[in-house]
Structure 1
Amino acid sequence: MEAAPLASLSLTHVDYNPADRISYLCAWLALVPQALCVIYATLIWSNREIEIFLMFAGQMACEALNWVLKRYIKEERPREMHGKGYGMPSSHAQFVTFFSVTLALFLLFRHVPHPTDTHTPLSLVGRFLLSLVAVACAGAVAGSRIYLSYHTPKQVIVGCFAGAGFALAWFGFTTYLRRAGWIEWVLETYAMRMLRVRDLVIQEDLVDSGWARWEDRRKRQSFQVQGKKSR
């Protein structure tokens, strides 16, 4: 009996030129969407923030849109990558553009962190610079798809426009949900309260989350130790 032929799990399979260092770097950049999904899952599990839930939901909806567009347009990839699925628009470019534009919109228009006794949050200028870094990183990932010949420049550009357009639409939709009170209503449901989902990141830095409580705990422990020594 002949063994069945093995299949390749192409989730992280990237073709690159081993003699080209830039090609090697681009191969790593191709893994950014998978890394972002891990970051999403980690933050959702550890912070339980509704804003991160919303952003991840938008990210998955954007991926679904890309799946539909590719099968509607049915444009092949460049000649070097024929047979590896449709290429219009680039899913990598659309994914990272949605992420970077959504993050920038959040940092510049929705995130209003308040300073505390233990932490001074980023200023608007700092958040703007962070947004530029996110957009630049997205540009590097998008450009890597052209360098590796997975997509034509047109496919990448269309992917970027699709990701940015969907990010703007999703941000507007979630803004409506907040202003209409739907987010507050969802947070009061039994399921959300059981999962301990909250909405603090609008006014609180993730860096500061729990830090004030930790500092208070350390001070109490220090006072207790000093009290025991003074006896």
Structure 2
Amino acid sequence: MAIHHTHAVYYESGDWIGHCLAYVSYLPYVAIIFMASSAYARREVHLVFILFGCFVSEGIARALKHTIQQPRPLETCESLGVCASPGFPSSHTQLMFLLTAIRASMLLRLFEQKRAHSICVGALESIAILLSAAAVAWSRVYLGYHTLEQVQAAAAIGAGLGIAWVWLMARLDGAFSYVSTSTLGQWMNLKNSWGVADVLHAECIMYHSTAIAMPTASKSKAAE
């Protein structure tokens, strides 16, 4: 069996599905980069905390791997060169389902606003993340890096951790506000909009209100 690889992800030569899934396996890294970019661009304290949660998830996955020491699939681990690395749980799958659970939990908050547009967009985003998570889980099994049981357990752990992380963020809302209003927080332009269910809609209203007020203020100055 000829084995090709995409950087560190291996797949069988001539298998176009495996070739595609090798790239799908990189989605967790894309998600990390996206979260880091969003946290930096938006300066939202809760986004920084979610990014921190991604690293906590990785730490938990590694701890479980080295504690349980469950081997990877014996029929493929040798050709992939991963027999020495424990396989339970799949850290790729765990991270993706962590983010899926967080996004789905945040979607429930949109129902408070009762805005159909926001709910539909949020639902589509949640479905897209869920499908991405499922694709990553499938890729890890298909490519022979994990057993089905290992990715199923990872999905459950990730989803549970995601729900717990959202619960913790709700309890830390006051701390987020304190950090954002501190001297350092203001210097870094940090903000806390965790208590706002639909941030984009709130920002849109604020923008249009400011845009309407500015010409009015300019006319008043001109009249003076």
What's 2:12 paired with? 17
Q: Secondary structure at the match of 1:127?
A: helix
Conservation of the 8 A alpha-carbon contact between 2:110 and 2:198: no
Are 1:192 and 2:188 an aligned pair? no
2:85 pairs with 1:90: no
Q: Distance in 1 between matches of 2:111 and 2:187?
A: 26
Unaligned residue ranges in structure 1 (runs of 5+): 1-9, 116-120, 224-231
Q: How does 1:57-72 map to 2 (within 5 A)?
A: 57-72=52-67
User: For residues 138 and 111 of structure 1, what CA distance do their matches in structure 2 show?
Assistant: 24
- Identical-residue share of aligned pairs (%): 25
Tell me the secondary structure at the aligned position of residue 15 of structure 1.
strand
Aligned match for 1:135, one of 130, 142, 161: 130
Deviation at residue 104 of structure 1 after TM alignment = 1.2
Please say if residues 12 and 31 of structure 1, whose CA atoms lie closer than 8 Å, have aligned partners that are also in contact. Answer: no
Cα distance in 2 for partners of 1:107, 1:12 equals 35
Write the letter of the residue equivalent to 1:190.
T
Does residue 27 (structure 1) correspond to residue 17 (structure 2)? The answer is: no
Corresponding residue for 2:41?
A: 46
Q: 2:68 aligns with which of 73, 80, 84?
A: 73
Per-residue CA deviation, residues 18-71 of structure 1 (Å, 9 max, x unaligned), is 311110111011110111111112111211111211211111111111110010
Structure with the higher fraction of residues in helix conformation:
2
The TM-score, its normalising length taken from structure 1, stands at: 0.77
What is the count of residue pairs matched by the alignment? Answer: 205
Q: TM-score, normalised by structure 2?
A: 0.79
CA contact (8 A) 1:77 1:87 kept: yes
> Using a 3 Å threshold, how does the CA distance of structure 1 residues 28 and 182 change in structure 2: closer, same or farther?
same
CA–CA separation in structure 2 for the residues paired with 1:208 and 1:19: 50
Question: For residues 100 and 197 of structure 1, what CA distance do their matches in structure 2 show?
Answer: 25
In 1, Cα distance between the equivalents of 2:14 and 2:57? 35
Question: CA separation in 1, counterparts of 2:111 and 2:52?
Answer: 19
1:160 has 2:155 as partner: yes
Q: Any idea what the Cα deviations from partners look like across 1:124-160, whole Å, max 9, x if unmatched?
A: 2442233122212211111110000000001100110
Q: Which runs of 5+ in 2 are unaligned?
A: 219-224
Q: What root-mean-square deviation, in Å, do the aligned CA atoms of Structure 1 and Structure 2 show?
A: 3.1
Query: Larger deviation: 129-138 or 158-167?
Result: 129-138
Q: Which amino acid aligns with 1:195?
A: M
- Residue 16 of structure 1 aligns to a residue whose secondary structure is strand
